[in-house]
Amino acid sequence: MSETKSRFVVSADWLQERLGAPDLRILDASFYLPAQKRDADAEYAAGHIPGAVRFDHDKIADHSTNLPHMVPSPDDFASEVGKLGISDTDTIVVYDGPGMFASPRIWWLFCVMGAKNVYVLDGGLDGWKAEGRPLETIVQQPKVATFTSHFAADRVVSLEAMRDIVTSEAMQIADARSAGRFAATEPEPREGMRSGHMPGARSLPSGVFSSQGKFKSLPELKQTIEDAGIDLSKPVVTSCGSGITAAIITLALESLGHTDNKLYDGSWSEWGSRSDTPIVTGPPTPIKA
């Protein structure tokens, strides 16, 4: 792989050369908001990368809360991904439709659950199809595998921990929602949400990290993050609408060697739906000279 590209991102060529390898597991982790007008399950049925199994964000999740696709318990996660034929020692490649939207969330989830060889497919299924690469419509029936979880609980931020972070300013906050949602000039897509952002947060819209579904180079990622006012020598917590696209920022940080980061799982679905959490509107506070 190129030294200027993320070590966690693999090309379509790389993946196609390895199709059918005994320790390779491919996950279709496509997920769409209503406004995107795409059906992830229907697209999987119509044609997916050979060998890919479908990963449902809302099925493999914590069902004890009404918040969407929250991190499941390590035991539940291990059980569900084991049914998909995935072990913690496999080489796991995750993709979504556009390329860099929902797949980094599942990359992150497997990483915090202890898997060591997890990658995101550059360009996604859209890019794979555009290049005329092989597809299949067979719904895989994998043999059940054993996934042994080693959950890094300290990488997942709870509401109470997020309150402390906002109050203490102990970590930088990177928000992956659109600039309009961050500034409260655009409405939230979910009903009942207040608009704005957490005090002290920096705006890093998830779309700035990729071009046509492909992750940007390491120098471009570094420039983008620093231009938003994030100091890469200090800890960062990532957030977004519901914990999905926050992982794109996490992927960028980890690609640059920044490991002192966490993800706020409830994100704006939790923070913005409450009446007792502080909210700021308008653009980010100017960066101090």
Q: Tell me if residue 240 is catalytic.
A: yes
Q: What is the DSSP string of the chain?
A: --TTS-TTEE-HHHHHHHTT-TTEEEEE-----GGG---HHHHHHH-B-TT-EE--TTTSS-TTSSSTTPPPPHHHHHHHHHHTT--TTSEEEEE-SSSSSSHHHHHHHHHHTT-SSEEEETTHHHHHHHTT---B-----PPP--------GGGEE-HHHHHHHHHHT-SEEEE-S-HHHHHTSS--SSTT---SB-TT-EE--GGGGEETTEEPPHHHHHHHHHHTT--TTS-EEEE-SSSSTHHHHHHHHHHTT---EEEESSHHHHHTT-SSS--B-SSPPPPP-
Which of 71, 198, 240, 247 is flagged as catalytic?
240
List residues with catalytic annotation. 240
